[in-house]
């Protein structure tokens, strides 16, 4: 086996080029500095992904890097924040090699360019097992305007961005737990959505203008809507038929009875669920589309303290096997 670089060389070759913000000091100091613009609050988020839990150990390193970063950026965007940077702590298993690390850092570099963020620092250590990628990301938002879970009011319209269920179905394709396995482009789309969430950064400013509550769908559409309802002290309804599906997901839902539960409760969508007053709903949808992130009206906020319900085509409540995807 070729000799591998030590920690300092590794930082120099693969991480220093990612420290594009001057406050990161090219990773040559012990800390980084961020100068918050006057009148803005800092928004903080930490999320880690673990081999065998959130990705497969053999997945492309650039995709693992992207997923680790994007799940954090998705959270920031869903609360109205503009991402600024991140700290990366990696626990690397013993079998890493330079090709792997080169591809991993290339994935981060591409996403940094795409999303306008910089690496600000971090830590690389030996793992006590499989790969763990811990990211703490931060962004900024006009003072006092972060969008909370609490804030939804009866009468508000429930919107979701993009399409729902692709990632959960992509995972089921990989695990082989679907009755009929799709193939070709439709399957590729679902697999891609599992590995490469799309943080909806362009929606953040639109959310800031209109949303009464919002979050990104990571625990499952129904479970995350329940989070909003609980925090807001309201009830809610989702029309199952209105939930936007990709062509691949649509085909699976039509052919496999278990697919709908994966769509509604599967998680890892990283789409943005938000509530908007009825009076603003049309403008919100129009401005979201203009921003390049179409949103779909899927339900409504109602009075009450009961958990939200999902209504089938006949207007009757559906029962789901699992209300929320649990990562732990």
What does the block give as tokens for 297? 């009206």
Q: Is 178 helix (H, G, I), strand (E, B) or coil?
A: coil
Chain positions 218 to 237 lying near a second copy, rule: CB under 8 A, are 231
Place of tokens 């394709």: 173
Listed residue (85, 100, 295) closest to 200, CA to CA: 295
**Nearest distance, CB of residue 42 and a second copy, angstroms:** 4
Pick from 91, 206, 293, 320 the residue near a second copy by CB under 8 A: 91
Instruction: For residues 185 and 191, give the distance between their C-alpha atoms in angstroms, rounded to a whole number.
Output: 10
Task: Report the residue number, 186 or 273, with the smaller CB distance to a second copy.
Answer: 273
Task: Report the residue number, 47 or 166, with the smaller CB distance to a second copy.
Answer: 47
Residue 102 makes contact with a second copy by CB under 8 A: no
Contacts of 187 (CB under 8 A, 6+ apart): 173, 181, 248
Listed residue (131, 92, 136, 86) closest to 109, CA to CA: 86
How many CB atoms neighbour CB 54 within 10 A? 19
- Judged by CB under 8 A, the stretch of 2-10, 109-117, 194-202, 247-255 that binds a second copy is 2-10
Residue 246 makes contact with a second copy by CB under 8 A: no
**Nearest distance, CB of residue 280 and a second copy, angstroms:** 22
**Nearest distance, CB of residue 34 and a second copy, angstroms:** 4
Residue 58 makes contact with a second copy by CB under 8 A: no
| Cα–Cα distances in angstroms (integers) from residue 316 to residues 31, 237, 240, 311, 322, in the given order | 56, 11, 10, 5, 18
Instruction: For residues 137 and 131, give the distance between their C-alpha atoms in angstroms, rounded to a whole number.
Output: 19
Residue 185 makes contact with a second copy by CB under 8 A: no
**Nearest distance, CB of residue 267 and a second copy, angstroms:** 12
Q: Which residues bind a second copy (CB under 8 A)?
A: 6-7, 10, 25, 28-36, 38, 41-54, 57, 75-76, 78-79, 81, 87-89, 91-93, 120-132, 134, 136, 138, 141, 143, 146, 148-150, 215-216, 231, 326-328
């Amino acid at each position: 086996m070729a000799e591998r670089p030590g920690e300092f060389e590794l930082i120099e070759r693969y991480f220093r080029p990612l420290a594009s913000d001057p406050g990161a000091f090219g990773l040559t100091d012990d800390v980084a500095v961020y100068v918050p613009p006057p009148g803005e609050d800092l928004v903080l988020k930490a999320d880690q992904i673990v081999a065998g839990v959130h990705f497969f150990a053999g997945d492309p390193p650039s995709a693992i890097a992207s997923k680790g970063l994007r799940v954090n950026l998705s959270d920031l965007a869903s609360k109205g924040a503009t991402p600024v940077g991140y700290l990366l702590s990696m626990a690397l298993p013993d079998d890493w090699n330079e090709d792997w690390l080169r591809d991993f850092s290339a994935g981060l570099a591409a996403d940094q360019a795409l999303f306008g963020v910089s690496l600000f620092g971090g830590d690389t250590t030996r793992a006590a097992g499989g790969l763990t990628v811990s990211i703490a990301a931060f962004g900024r938002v006009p003072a006092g305007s972060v969008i909370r879970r609490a804030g939804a009011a009866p009468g508000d319209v429930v919107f979701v961005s993009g399409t729902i269920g692709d990632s959960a179905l992509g995972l089921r394709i990989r695990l082989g737990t679907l009755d009929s396995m799709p193939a070709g482009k439709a399957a590729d789309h679902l697999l891609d959505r599992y590995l490469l969430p799309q943080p909806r950064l362009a929606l953040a400013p639109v959310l800031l203008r209109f949303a009464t509550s919002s979050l990104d769908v990571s625990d499952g559409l129904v479970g995350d809507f329940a989070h909003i309802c609980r925090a807001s002290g309201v009830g809610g309804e989702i029309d199952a038929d209105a939930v936007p599906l990709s062509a691949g997901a649509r085909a699976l839902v039509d052919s496999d009875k278990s697919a709908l539960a994966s769509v509604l409760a599967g998680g890892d969508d990283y789409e943005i669920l938000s509530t908007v007053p009825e009076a603003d709903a049309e403008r919100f949808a129009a401005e979201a589309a203009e921003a390049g992130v179409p949103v779909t009206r899927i339900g409504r906020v109602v009075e009450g303290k009961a958990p939200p319900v999902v209504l089938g085509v006949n207007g009757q409540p559906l029962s789901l096997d699992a209300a929320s995807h649990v990562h732990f």
